[in-house]
Amino acid sequence: METITINREFLNKIKANYLHYQREEENLSIYFTAESLHINRGTLFRIESGSLQISDDLFFTLLNFYDSYFSENVQSLHIVKQYIQRIFTAYCDFNYKKAGQLYDTFISQKSINHDTIDSYDFFHVMLLDFLNDILINKKMNEKALQLLNEYHSVFSDDEICILHILCAKHFCDKEAYQEALSHLNELNRYNQNENTIYYALDCYLRASICLRENQGFSTYRYTQKALDILNETLYFERIKFLKMYQAIALSLLKQYEEAELLYFNLIDAFEGKDQKFVCAIRDNLAWLYIQSGQYQQAITATHQAFQAGSDFFELYFNIPLACYFLHDNEQCLQEIGNIPAEKKDPYTKAFLDVLQNGIIGDNVQFECSVSHFLKQAENRNNPEMIRITLKIAAEYFETKDLERTVYYQKQLIALN
């Protein structure tokens, strides 16, 4: 009888390939497997690559670990993944209270052995903690982000999309727009479908960045893309904010009638249901009238915003500003005096100084106050207030100093 000789190196390669296949089938990382079995990570890597001879004992130890892993831990893993999705869904509809409650419920679960979870699926629990930090605690754990990115292969594409969406949201809130955009660009590597919630949120966040940079056309385009997806969903909270963004974008594009109509529709839809949102809409409507030169309507809309319960700081200079452009100097000074001291934050006070000095008529004081406010408005990236201040300065010097008038008009033209 002929004896068949099997090359040991070839047999070792078969074992290595099989172990690698089994580990990936269970979606386990080399890091986790090595830590769980107290094996050096480099050793496990060389075993799977076939460059290190593996003993039969270690081969069967690894196989038994992979076989037992799924049955013992899949239920707990499923629970963690469910909570990640449910917390993200709460964020999608701006329900941060529910997101916090879900996280607290997860932490208090009696049926979950959290020590076991930490040992077998450290990264998913870390992702859950990370989401809670961003949404509820409003902070970013940079070390956790670095670790999550380093071991991203343990997550599904959906989980990676969630990670990048919430990182982008965090950086948008911090006005760190380049960092936000880098996460949104990374998101697009994992989400190629333009009909998903991830794409809608990508558009929403890009719209919010464009809006803060006063890019009317881009804001409108991104809000429309997001609405095309979300109109078929139940994410009503996010839809209403997208419509508000769209109205602001129309104002920036000087399509004032369309913006006004959209604001009126939003007021009709939410009056008596969501007063905080109605206040925000009335704030923006009052400002639309300032932008479009409808100063009497601006005064009326501002009073209505106050009656609705609005307490937005910049709302307080709407009426003095409207009175100033209506050349009602006495009423302008009276309205400035009526503003409560606690509402005169440095930004508001700096602008009110422009109005007061414009009425008093001291050229030096007026120009100092204009220069001081323009610096603050530039720091806030507020071109609309820069535009209005330059307009005030150009009109102020119109009958006083032709050279200064031309100077401010040129800046106004360059801004437009």
pLDDT (tens, 9 = 90+) of the chain, 416 residues, equals 344 444 567 667 777 877 887 777 766 778 778 877 888 888 888 888 888 888 878 887 887 777 665 554 556 777 788 889 999 999 998 899 999 999 998 888 644 554 444 444 677 888 888 999 999 888 888 888 888 888 777 788 889 999 999 999 999 999 899 999 999 999 988 877 778 899 999 999 999 999 888 889 999 999 999 999 988 777 888 999 999 999 999 998 999 999 999 999 999 999 888 888 998 899 899 999 999 999 999 999 999 888 888 777 778 888 999 999 999 999 999 999 988 888 888 888 999 999 999 999 899 999 999 999 999 998 887 888 899 999 999 999 998 889 999 999 999 888 76
Asked if residue 383 belongs to a domain, the reply is: yes
CA angle (285, 289, 293) in 5-degree steps: 170
CA dist 201 and 226 (Å) reads 7
Asked if residue 350 belongs to a domain, the reply is: yes
Number of folded domains that form the chain? 1
Closest to 197 (Cα-Cα) out of 143, 146, 161: 161
Asked if residue 267 belongs to a domain, the reply is: no
b/e 380-414 (16+ beta carbons within 10 angstroms → b): eebeebbbbbbebbbebbeeeeeebbeebbebbee
Contact 335, 323 (CB under 8 A): yes
Query: Count of residues for the chain?
Result: 416
Q: Where in the sequence is the domain holding 358, given as residue range(s)?
A: 345-416
pLDDT digits (tens, 9 = 90+) for 359-391: 998 999 999 999 999 999 988 878 888 999 999
Asked if residue 256 belongs to a domain, the reply is: no
Distance of CA 390 to the CA centre of its chain: 32
pTM, rounded to two decimals:
0.73
Asked if residue 407 belongs to a domain, the reply is: yes
Asked if residue 10 belongs to a domain, the reply is: no
Residue type, 317: F
* DSSP-H helix ranges across 109-255: 114-120, 122-135, 142-150, 157-173, 177-190, 197-212, 216-230, 236-252
Asked if residue 97 belongs to a domain, the reply is: no
pLDDT digits (tens, 9 = 90+) for 75-115: 677 778 888 999 999 999 889 999 999 999 888 864 455 44
Residue at token pair 């890597």: 45
Residue type, 283: D
CA dist 155 and 378 (Å) reads 42
pLDDT digits (tens, 9 = 90+) for 174-217: 989 999 999 999 998 887 777 889 999 999 999 999 988 888 99
Asked if residue 300 belongs to a domain, the reply is: no
HSE-CB for 218 with a 13 A CA cutoff: 12
